[in-house]
């Protein structure tokens, strides 16, 4: 009986974390791209532009997000072409805790958070990541890991829009 209870708790925890740790955004049918856009994305996309929308996005958050984007895009086979489909990441929210708050206050200081909307061709989708559900396991996780996850979500979302396979 005790083993079954422990197994149930472990399975539930794994299911919760699997849902939280995913880097594939949800793209509903109403936001899917036209057939022409899918083909154009497969041919190549422009280097993404970041529109901060008045949010303070530090250079190292931008660099971290774009580095993760380029690595994931290369892994997925997305081609970066100056004449490709324009891509813009509109930042809708960002919050970064200080290192001192992260160390001393841990989860009581809130979560690091980064969210936005990716516009590619005639479609758009949301990307978002925070550290709320990770505090117990990774209390020292920073905005850099959050921005890495958002960059990967952007690349995965563009690949989904193009109909490319995702191995995440």
pLDDT tens string 15-59: 444 444 456 666 654 456 677 888 888 889 999 999 998 888 889
Report yes or no on 157 lying in a domain. Answer: yes
CATH number at residue 118: 3.30.160
Domain count, the chain: 1
Identify the pLDDT of residue 31: 52
Identify the pLDDT of residue 17: 46
Q: Under 8 Å CB-to-CB from 150, ≥6 apart: which residues?
A: 65, 68, 114, 115, 116, 127, 128, 129
Report yes or no on 168 lying in a domain. Answer: no
Report yes or no on 145 lying in a domain. Answer: yes
pLDDT tens string 68-127: 999 999 999 999 999 999 999 999 988 876 656 555 655 555 667 889 999 998 888 999
Residue with tokens 């970064």: 96
Mean pLDDT, range 145-166, rounded to an integer: 89
Does residue 134 have a pLDDT over 60? Answer: no
Identify the pLDDT of residue 123: 87
Q: Under 8 Å CB-to-CB from 17, ≥6 apart: which residues?
A: 133
Mean pLDDT, range 125-137, rounded to an integer: 72
Report yes or no on 25 lying in a domain. Answer: yes
Report yes or no on 167 lying in a domain. Answer: no
Cα separation, 145 vs 153, whole angstroms: 12
Report yes or no on 143 lying in a domain. Answer: yes
Instruction: State the residue range of the domain holding 23.
Output: 2-162
Report yes or no on 12 lying in a domain. Answer: yes
Report yes or no on 99 lying in a domain. Answer: yes
């Amino acid at each position: 009986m005790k083993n079954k209870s422990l197994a149930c708790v472990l399975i539930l925890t794994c299911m919760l974390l699997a849902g939280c740790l995913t880097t594939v955004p949800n793209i509903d049918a109403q936001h899917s791209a036209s057939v022409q856009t899918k083909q154009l994305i497969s041919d190549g996309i422009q280097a993404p532009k970041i529109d901060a929308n008045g949010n303070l996005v530090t250079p190292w958050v931008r660099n971290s997000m774009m580095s993760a984007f380029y690595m994931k895009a290369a892994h997925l086979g997305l081609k970066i072409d100056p004449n490709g489909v324009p891509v813009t990441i509109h930042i809708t929210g960002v919050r970064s805790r200080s290192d001192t708050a992260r160390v001393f206050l841990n989860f009581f200081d809130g979560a690091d958070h980064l969210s936005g909307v990716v516009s590619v061709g005639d479609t758009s989708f949301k990307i978002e990541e925070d550290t709320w559900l990770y505090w117990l396991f990774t209390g020292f996780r920073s905005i850099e890991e959050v921005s890495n996850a958002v960059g990967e979500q952007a690349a995965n979302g563009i690949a989904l829009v193009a109909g490319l396979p995702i191995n995440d």
